[in-house]
């Protein structure tokens, strides 16, 4: 059968078994259907559940590929999620391994806390994809004899200017290409995104058709390691020294109130400021060194430019150093807007602190609440679904 899901990978000489694929199974409906589709396509599928909690708990009826059964009870993937993944694997008649990635996930948590403490707005989901799901998991896949890792993300692989790159998922409301932008170019041909061409409703229908017990399981809506959405509380439990009273000032530097720690605020925040000025005000800046929070009008949030670092290019720019049209998306839940990009520092080598290289973005129209620390992802203007690359916002210029 010629694959309609992965035509670029079809090899008629492979017969009914078309290669070994590791699927990152979270116990949710998306990754479960991804595994089911690959089984239907004739691949030899191996499920891997990434245990991301703190070491110490025993997960019954599961062991990881390093024969270490002690894993955490809190984190992205709970014991219940592991059991759901196990039941799905049994229904699909595929093996499931439990991998303890708690040590790697602690890096994601440390990053989250450090970014808030430094006055930036982190995006741990992107880092988790870069470092674990399409980073360390690939190393585990090779130990299992697989060269390809699949996941249940709503994104696709497509071609642009002769390169294979990421592309938006068909379900625009669920598209996750933004959170995958950091996957390195050399990983693109080692990944599969089986559900990227489907609407979410169709994915649930397929789960029911496959007899998967998670067909109606709710989606996760919060950062996995902060289930109560109390980001500030989570940060200050790890960095109690941040709970220090500071000044709330206006854009002229005049004090208008006080706060209990700058980590309680994010750029663009309007509610919960506990300051009355007779008109709507927003957080426009956080200064961790001075422990101040600056508030202002909505127009004070507008920026015409920004710079970004830790660049990851999936498609090389035709004229590096010159202004190139693009579409820029600077928040997960926002639309890409017309802009121009210019490389201001080339990425010549990989460093332990991340990808070097920086670029500057000029927006065709002023944009609101661009937050340092967030990812900015660039798409092709003539093929708006294709990801060119991206980076991490350093500074918004107003």
Q: Say how far apart CA 26 and CA 30 lie, in whole Å.
A: 9
Q: Could you tell me which of 273, 324, 317, 303 has the C-alpha nearest to residue 370?
A: 303
Name residue 100's beta-bridge partners. 51
DSSP string covering 359-377, please? Answer: EEEEEEEEEE---TTSEEE
- The answer to whether residue 77 is catalytic is no
Q: Say how far apart CA 339 and CA 308 lie, in whole Å.
A: 14
Exactly one of 77, 99, 125, 224 is catalytic; which is it?
224
Q: Could you count the other beta carbons within 10 Å of the beta carbon of residue 80?
A: 9
Q: Say how far apart CA 318 and CA 347 lie, in whole Å.
A: 15
Give CA separation, 230 vs 236, 255, 331, 332, in Å: 10, 27, 20, 20
Give CA separation, 20 vs 64, 97, 166, in Å: 19, 15, 22
Residue 245 CB-half CA count within 13 A: 2
Exactly one of 77, 128, 306, 326 is catalytic; which is it?
128
Q: 117-126 burial, b if ≥16 CB within 10 A, otherwise e? A: bebbbbbbbb
Angle at 234 between CA 231 and CA 240, to 5 degrees: 120
H/E stretch holding 233: helix 231-238
- The answer to whether residue 63 is catalytic is no
Please give the positions annotated as active site: 128, 224
């Amino acid at each position: 059968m010629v694959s309609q899901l992965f035509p670029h990978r079809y090899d008629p000489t492979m017969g009914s078994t078309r290669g070994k694929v590791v699927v990152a199974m979270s116990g949710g409906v998306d990754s479960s259907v991804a595994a089911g589709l690959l089984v239907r396509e004739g691949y030899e599928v191996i499920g891997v559940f990434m245990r991301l909690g703190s070491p110490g708990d025993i997960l019954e009826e599961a062991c990881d590929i390093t024969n270490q059964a002690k894993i955490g009870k809190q984190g992205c993937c709970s014991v219940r999620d592991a059991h759901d993944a196990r039941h799905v694997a049994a229904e699909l008649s595929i093996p499931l391994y439990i991998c303890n990635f708690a040590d790697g996930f602690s890096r994601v948590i440390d990053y989250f806390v450090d970014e808030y403490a430094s006055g930036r707005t982190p995006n741990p989901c992107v880092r988790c994809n870069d470092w674990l799901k399409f980073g360390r998991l690939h190393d585990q896949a090779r130990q299992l004899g697989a060269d390809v890792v699949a996941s249940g993300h709503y994104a696709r692989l497509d071609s642009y200017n002769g390169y294979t790159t990421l592309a938006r998922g068909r379900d625009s409301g669920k598209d996750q290409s933004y959170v995958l932008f950091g996957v390195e170019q050399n990983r693109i041909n080692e990944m599969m995104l089986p559900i990227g061409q489907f609407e979410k409703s169709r994915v649930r229908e397929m789960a029911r058709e496959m007899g998967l017990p998670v067909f109606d399981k709710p989606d996760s809506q919060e950062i996995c390691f902060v289930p109560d959405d109390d980001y500030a509380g989570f940060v200050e439990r790890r960095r109690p020294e941040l709970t220090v009273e500071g000044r709330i000032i206006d854009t002229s530097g005049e004090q208008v109130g006080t706060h209990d720690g700058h980590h309680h605020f994010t750029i663009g925040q309007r509610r919960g400021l506990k300051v009355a000025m007779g008109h709507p005000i927003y957080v426009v800046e956080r200064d961790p060194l001075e422990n101040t929070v600056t508030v202002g009008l909505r127009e004070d949030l507008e920026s015409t430019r920004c710079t970004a670092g830790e660049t990851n290019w999936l498609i090389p720019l035709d004229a590096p150093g010159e202004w190139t049209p693009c579409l820029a998306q600077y928040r997960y839940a926002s639309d890409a807007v017309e802009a121009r990009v210019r490389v201001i520092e080339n990425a010549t080598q990989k460093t332990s602190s991340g990808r070097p290289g920086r670029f500057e973005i000029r927006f065709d129209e002023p944009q609101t609440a661009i937050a340092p620390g967030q990812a900015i992802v660039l798409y092709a203007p003539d093929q708006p679904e294709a990801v060119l690359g991206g980076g991490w916002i350093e500074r918004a210029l107003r």
